[in-house]
Structure 1
Amino acid sequence: MISIPFYIMLAARFYSVFISARTEKKIKEKGAIEFGRLNTLILTICHFLYYGACITEGLNKGALVKDDAVSWTGLTLYGLAISTLYYVIYQIRNIWTLKLIIAPKKIHIINKSFLFRYFRHPNYYLTIIPELIGIALLFHAWYSLFIGFSIYLIPLLIRIIQEERIMKFMFDDYK
């Protein structure tokens, strides 16, 4: 049944929120500064609304119990996104949060590994975007995908622009 792997991955996704909160507390104690609070709030609201819309749309269609190629493609994409999320967390574990928080230079080291060198913002492009597409496919939530995803992209692009500007301003070795 497709719902069991989804619930496991959903639990893993929610656990990332706890990882973020723990990291946030630690780095703020060391002098980290949060930027873009309003946009973070908007992104958080959009994330919950998007999930809610996809799940509601899907439940109305009976999609969670469907065992078809679209649902399995969505579940696979969702699973790859969650796996990549945990790899990103592993790569930048001492500074990774859901918020736009910049740690002091002595703590905030620019990651230059393969993933970060070839994908400027892997947390957004390789985790969030595939996660959102995956959950919409899983639930056959076409309205949510086309309307909700388009709306979600606005604060996400604002976040990426904010992060780029702040990182370039704060770190000389951020190119």
Structure 2
Amino acid sequence: MKWKVFLFLLVQRFVELYWAKRNERWMKEREAKEFGQNHYKHIVCMHSLFFVSLLLEGRKKHASALWPFLFNIFIILQLFRFWTIASLGRYWNTKIIVLPNAERIQKGPYRWFRHPNYLVVTLEFIIIPLMFQAYWTAVIFTVWNVYLLSIRIRVEEQALRLLKSPHK
């Protein structure tokens, strides 16, 4: 079962990258501006290495004894992730791309959270490795993610203020 989850995550991430690229083209056709290119490569590196680390650390271990509990949390996180992406629609992206003067998205989880997708990713970096008993992966990538998000959120907020568009 754990390898089915691993495969699901890989497929999910590639589909999301395809969707993000499509949204990027759509937004840039409407004169959207991209910000944070300097740190984006580090985010891509972190997410890629997360899967490598998860595979290497978890490959010979059995699924956690807490698998049923952790798997339920994982499912809830995926539903929250899909809701977040669907709420942003064409504005959702893995990059910081802002359409000047666009209306702020205030539906779905964006009614209550400024950056719900970042919450999901942070929790995934904890829950998924625990499912695989990959404890070092959980610690290292959670800390790395929090550090990169501290940069990313600051850049994103500045971009939104600069272009007077508080969505995403």
What is the TM-score normalised by the length of structure 1?
Answer: 0.84
Matched length: 167
Instruction: Name stretches of at least 5 consecutive residues in structure 2 with no aligned partner.
Output: none
Q: String of CA shifts for 1:14-66, please: whole Å, max 9, x gaps.
A: 2111110110011111111110001111111011112211221011x323xx3
Q: Which amino acid aligns with 2:80?
A: T
The equivalent residue for 2:74 is: 78
The 3 A distance-change label for structure 1 pair 53 and 111 is: same
Shift of 1:98: 0.4
For 1:77 and 1:94, how far apart are their aligned partners in 2?
A: 27
Please tell me whether the aligned partners of residues 70 and 127 of structure 2 are also in contact (alpha carbons under 8 angstroms). Answer: yes
Note if 1:120 corresponds to 2:119: no
The Cα RMSD (Å) is 2.1
Query: Which structure 1 residue ranges, 4+ long, deviate > 4 Å from structure 2?
Result: none
Please tell me whether the aligned partners of residues 6 and 75 of structure 1 are also in contact (alpha carbons under 8 angstroms). Answer: no
For 1:100 and 1:173, how far apart are their aligned partners in 2?
A: 12
Note if 1:48 corresponds to 2:48: yes
Note if 1:153 corresponds to 2:146: yes
Q: Which amino acid aligns with 2:86?
A: Y
Q: Which amino acid aligns with 1:124?
A: Y
Please tell me whether the aligned partners of residues 54 and 134 of structure 2 are also in contact (alpha carbons under 8 angstroms). Answer: yes
Please tell me whether the aligned partners of residues 27 and 103 of structure 1 are also in contact (alpha carbons under 8 angstroms). Answer: yes
SS of the aligned residue for 1:93 comes to: helix
Instruction: Name stretches of at least 5 consecutive residues in structure 1 with no aligned partner.
Output: none
SS of the aligned residue for 2:85 comes to: helix
Shift of 1:114: 5.2
From 77, 84, 88, give the equivalent of 1:88.
Answer: 84
The equivalent residue for 1:28 is: 28
For 2:14 and 2:70, how far apart are their aligned partners in 1?
A: 18
